[in-house]
Amino acid sequence: MRPIDTHIQNMMKWLTLSLGALCIAFVSYSLSTINSTPTEARLLPKHMLGLTQWETITTDKMEKGATVPPHTNVLIHIPVNTGDIKRTVLFGRSGENIRYWGYCFPEDYETMRLMEGRGFPGRIFLSEKEREVRAAEELAKRKGIFTLYRQEELTQERLNETEFNRGRVRHQVEIIKDGSTCYVMSEGPLPVGIDADGDGVNSYIEKDKGTDPAIADTDGDGLSDGIELFFLKTSPTRRDSDGDGIVDGLEDKNRNGKVDMTETNPNHIDSDHDGLCDGLCRVGSNGTQIRGEDINLNGIVDPGETSPVNPDSDGDGIFDEQEYFNCIMETGGSCDYSAFEV
């Protein structure tokens, strides 16, 4: 690793560990120089300027989607009138694996100036990973202290209680207002952008995944792009992700992004593992037969259909697929859903 990289990484670590004090330094500095210098210069104390690279993500870039580079001081300008955005959406839900932290200022510096007397005017945010690491550091510190001096008080409860949780870092923000200017420092690249259609997917990820940033449900299957991408892991551009004939929105009926007990799995053609697919699937050696459970593909168990979430729909101890074969034996083949045969 080049010395400059090591230096930047050390800086990153230092910045992270000194978050609270540093933010206050930033703000004091910014308030003292309002209107006389560029924003970048206002947000860092003089002695730190030039040590780490700066990059600004403009409102234009935010609309199209951009990447926050790692180990860089990044300023992002969130466009006005685009609606408040969750931190997790703004940074593309990458915070569970990547340490990042930052803070946002109100749209206008006048508001900030008015808030000056009432403590820190910016709002701090931390990624999930950052919180986890901080909590672990606090825990390690606490364990050390208790082991040496207060071993008798080392209960599980005390171990779980961290200084961090008791408010060492205050004013954490999860909803970021449009028009805000935010500073962010990250250990890894972050996909960043606005969420114009409110589907929980930012403009960078919409571009990356080929979904429409102006339509919340790109494939029109009843599930938003965000539910599909982040929760169900189904395709946001294909209505029937698993190809069993039932569209994703009829499989996750209550559209909560989870496969509940009474729902079929939109990523598995045979949810109850009884050998018959949830809707209708091509079977047989040449794929000319069509067989399944919800044969009219409406997401409801109608008379004449077996349940795609119960391998033994009538509870007689014989699995549905066997019942199907029994039916063929008894009727000479009229269970073959010939109406659907191709």
Helix (H, G, I), strand (E, B) or coil at 283: strand
- Among 177, 176, 194, 182, residue whose Cα is nearest residue 64: 194
Among residues 143 and 233, whose Cβ is nearest to Ca ion? Answer: 233
**Which two tokens mark 231?**
């929760």
Residue partners of 82: CB distance under 8 A and separation at least 6: 63, 178, 194, 195, 196
Using CB under 5 A as the binding rule, whether residue 130 contacts Ca ion is answered as no
The beta strand positions in 181-230, using DSSP E, are 181-186, 190-192
Region of 114 please: left (phi>0), alpha (psi -120 to 50) or beta: alpha
Region of 328 please: left (phi>0), alpha (psi -120 to 50) or beta: alpha
- Helical (H) or strand (E) element with 138: helix 128-149
Query: Smallest distance from the beta carbon of 293 to Ca ion, in angstroms?
Result: 5
Which amino acid would we find at residue 140?
A: A
Q: Indicate which single residue of 130, 221, 263, 323 sits in contact with Ca ion (rule: CB under 5 A).
A: 221
Nearest-angstrom CA–CA distance, 132 and 123: 19
Among residues 272 and 323, whose Cβ is nearest to Ca ion? Answer: 272
Query: Smallest distance from the beta carbon of 164 to Ca ion, in angstroms?
Result: 32
Query: Smallest distance from the beta carbon of 94 to Ca ion, in angstroms?
Result: 16
- Among 254, 192, 195, residue whose Cα is nearest residue 57: 192
Query: How many binding residues for Ca ion (CB under 5 A)?
Result: 17
Among residues 85 and 104, whose Cβ is nearest to Ca ion? Answer: 85
Q: Indicate which single residue of 43, 126, 184, 201 sits in contact with Ca ion (rule: CB under 5 A).
A: 201
Using CB under 5 A as the binding rule, whether residue 263 contacts Ca ion is answered as no
- Among 291, 295, 267, 270, residue whose Cα is nearest residue 281: 291
Give, as ranges, the residues between 286 and 305 that touch Ca ion (CB under 5 A): none
Which region among 130-138, 148-156, 232-240, 254-262 touches Ca ion (by CB under 5 A)?
Answer: 232-240
Q: Indicate which single residue of 130, 270, 294, 323 sits in contact with Ca ion (rule: CB under 5 A).
A: 270
Query: Smallest distance from the beta carbon of 251 to Ca ion, in angstroms?
Result: 5
Q: Indicate which single residue of 240, 252, 294, 323 sits in contact with Ca ion (rule: CB under 5 A).
A: 240
Which region among 97-105, 159-167, 170-178, 242-250 touches Ca ion (by CB under 5 A)?
Answer: 242-250
Q: Indicate which single residue of 130, 263, 272, 323 sits in contact with Ca ion (rule: CB under 5 A).
A: 272
Q: Are strands 100-105 and 54-57 parallel, antiparallel or unpaired?
A: unpaired
Query: Smallest distance from the beta carbon of 312 to Ca ion, in angstroms?
Result: 11
Which region among 45-53, 149-157, 168-176, 223-231 touches Ca ion (by CB under 5 A)?
Answer: 223-231
**Which two tokens mark 282?**
């091509």
Query: Smallest distance from the beta carbon of 140 to Ca ion, in angstroms?
Result: 39
Q: Which residues would be at the binding site for Ca ion (CB under 5 A)?
A: 195, 197, 199, 201, 217, 219, 221, 223, 240, 242, 244, 246, 270, 272, 274, 276, 308
